């Protein structure tokens, strides 16, 4: 039998492979044994809302009788402000009110500048895509507000939507959205402050405002020179007003709803 040089080197080659593989196998096994534990994630906004000693409530302060802001005292008041204070007491939290605007309301809530938004907030499909809501606080609908002297001029929506009519709304809220959606011929003017619209109507600097029936009733008592009419259901169906939460704050939403159900008994 002939033994070649290659045959004589086979045992050495096997030994070489074995020496190389053993350390590699040891490293692989050690990597399997030493695994990092899974990271437990928490949602910062929900954790803050539930565990914090305070409840941050955002409101525009320009929707009486539900929310008003006194620029001299920097204090909020109104039906839904009182509701928020009772809620905070029930949850064992100090309520801090944070001023926002209709234009900034959604962004401020999304960026967790406050935990709950209140004060005449309408439930609609666009908001429901981004936020959760409490059970309804009240049902409302859009109406038209104008000077009492024009009650024979404005009988219905068609008589309002005419080229010579000046519509005025506050920026960023559902009033502006309603006007932009339905008005075809009248002129729409948009201003920053909701309360200034009623002054513009009284001073004959605007003709008509679309707002919620709740606000219209309140403003007519405050300004007897104003008048309002309901609109057809196909233009102005009823909708709910509610507290608004971030989608992640489901525990807070549940606690609020449980409290509201007890409050309404």
- Tell me the H-state helices in the chain: 5-33, 44-51, 79-91, 105-110, 125-128, 157-160, 174-182, 194-202, 213-222, 250-263
Sign of the Cα torsion 243, 246, 251, 254 reads positive
Report how far residue 159's alpha carbon sits from residue 13's, in angstroms, rounded to the nearest whole number: 100
Higher pLDDT among residues 118 and 31, named by residue = 118
- For 64-110, how does the pLDDT look when each residue is reduced to its tens digit (9 = 90+)? 999 999 999 999 999 999 999 999 999 999 999 999 999 999 999 99
Residue 101's SS3 state is coil
97 in Cβ contact with 57 (< 8 Å): yes
State residue 229's pLDDT score.
98
DSSP string for residues in 57-81:
EEE-SEETTTEEEETTTTEEESHHH
Number of Cβ within 10 Å of residue 92's Cβ equals 8
What pLDDT is stored for residue 265 in this prediction?
A: 77
Kindly report whether the global pTM for this prediction surpasses the value 0.95: no
Mean pLDDT of the chain: 86
The whole-number pLDDT of residue 48 equals 45
| For residues 195-208, average pLDDT | 96
User: What's the CA gap between 193 and 209, in Å, rounded?
Assistant: 13
What's the whole-number mean pLDDT along residues 171-192? Answer: 96
- The reported pLDDT for the residue numbered 14 is 52
């Amino acid at each position: 039998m002939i033994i070649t040089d290659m045959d004589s080197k086979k045992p050495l080659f096997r030994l070489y492979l074995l020496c190389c593989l053993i350390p590699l196998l040891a490293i692989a096994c050690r990597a399997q044994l030493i695994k990092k534990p899974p990271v437990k994630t928490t949602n910062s906004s929900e954790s803050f809302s539930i565990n914090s000693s305070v409840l941050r409530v955002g409101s525009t302060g320009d929707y009486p009788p539900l929310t008003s802001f006194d620029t001299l005292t920097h204090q909020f008041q109104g039906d839904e402000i009182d509701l928020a204070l009772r809620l905070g007491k029930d949850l064992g939290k100090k309520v801090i009110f944070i001023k926002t605007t209709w234009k900034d309301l959604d962004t401020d809530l999304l960026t967790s500048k406050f935990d709950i938004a209140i004060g005449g907030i309408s439930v609609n499909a666009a908001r429901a895509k981004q936020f959760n809501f409490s059970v309804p606080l009240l049902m409302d609908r859009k109406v038209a507000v104008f000077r009492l002297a024009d009650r024979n001029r404005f009988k219905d929506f068609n008589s309002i939507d005419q080229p010579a009519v000046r519509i005025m709304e506050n920026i960023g809220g559902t009033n502006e959205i309603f006007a932009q959606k339905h008005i075809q011929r009248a002129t729409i003017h948009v201003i920053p402050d909701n309360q200034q619209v009623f002054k513009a109507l009284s001073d004959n600097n605007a003709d008509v405002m679309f707002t919620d029936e709740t606000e219209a009733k309140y403003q007519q008592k405050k300004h007897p020179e104003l008048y309002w009419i309901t609109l057809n259901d196909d233009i102005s169906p009823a909708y709910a007003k509610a507290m608004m939460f971030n989608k992640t704050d489901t525990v807070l939403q549940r606690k609020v709803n449980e409290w509201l159900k007890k409050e309404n008994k």
